[in-house]
Homo-oligomer: A and B are copies of this chain.
């Protein structure tokens, strides 16, 4: 299994605190030794840092932890390989262009029969179930909306249904973003929390670090963090239900579909 970490915020926000917690699970407090990656959107562009080495020993992960890159949409992943070998091309997140937007994807879980998925013009470079599932999802979007859609609710519904189909193949927890929206799908393990004023303190579960968000934020900040397991032990995280699909936009939950 792997761990996912996502963020949606209404002002560019750094994710150093949450990433510090996640990183420890990459071979230290967790068994996810087979690489990690993080994508930060800035405007329509993005930066991805990734490494097939354990995050707890990665020089690049150290930089990401220390250097506050501010973003409104983040997708991150640490990996314990099941399908596909340990290599850079199999390291999440994966990114492809659709509708003049960069789409970024990370997956936690394991699928069977994924080799049969028709991904059309979106070809996988590596050999993970995850990248093939991502390419297949993009094909669903591209088939139904050859041009950039106006009706985003229709896009959400199609994505939710397509994720249901993928869940039939196994465990499918997902983070997906186009830089503006952060979309999630839950099979079994996905939690989220929205932080807003009045901000309090929070302590990481995986490392002895406490942060006072009051000192780090302004009163109008709205920041949602999504993670496989809660990252802090003194806040109330929502557990997503089986088949729950969410869309976050600038920190706010703007769409929710439960089964």
* Any B CB within 8 A of the CB of A91: yes
A42 to B47, CA, bound (A): 18
Contact (Cβ within 8 A) A42 B101 = no
- Central interface residue in A90, A96, A100, by most chain B CB within 10 Å: A100
Contact (Cβ within 8 A) A88 B45 = yes
- Per the CB 8 Å criterion, the residue count for chain A at the interface is 33
Known: A96-B97, A97-B96, A121-B121. A126 touches B44 (CB 8 A): yes
Known: A60-B63, A97-B123. A88 touches B42 (CB 8 A): yes
A12 to B50, CA, bound (A): 18
Q: This chain: how many copies in the complex?
A: 2
* Any B CB within 8 A of the CB of A229: no
Taking CB atoms, residues of chain B closer than 8 Å to A156 are: none
Taking CB atoms, residues of chain B closer than 8 Å to A42 are: 52, 87-88
* Any B CB within 8 A of the CB of A206: no
Q: Which of A80-100 contact B (CB under 8 A)?
A: 87-91, 96-100
Task: Produce 1/0 per residue, A41-80, CB < 8 A to B.
Answer: 0111111111110000001100100010000000000000
Contact (Cβ within 8 A) A45 B91 = yes
Taking CB atoms, residues of chain B closer than 8 Å to A90 are: 45
Q: A46-B88, A96-B97, A97-B122 are in contact. List 5 more A-B contacts (CB 8 A).
A: A44-B87, A47-B88, A49-B49, A63-B63, A89-B102
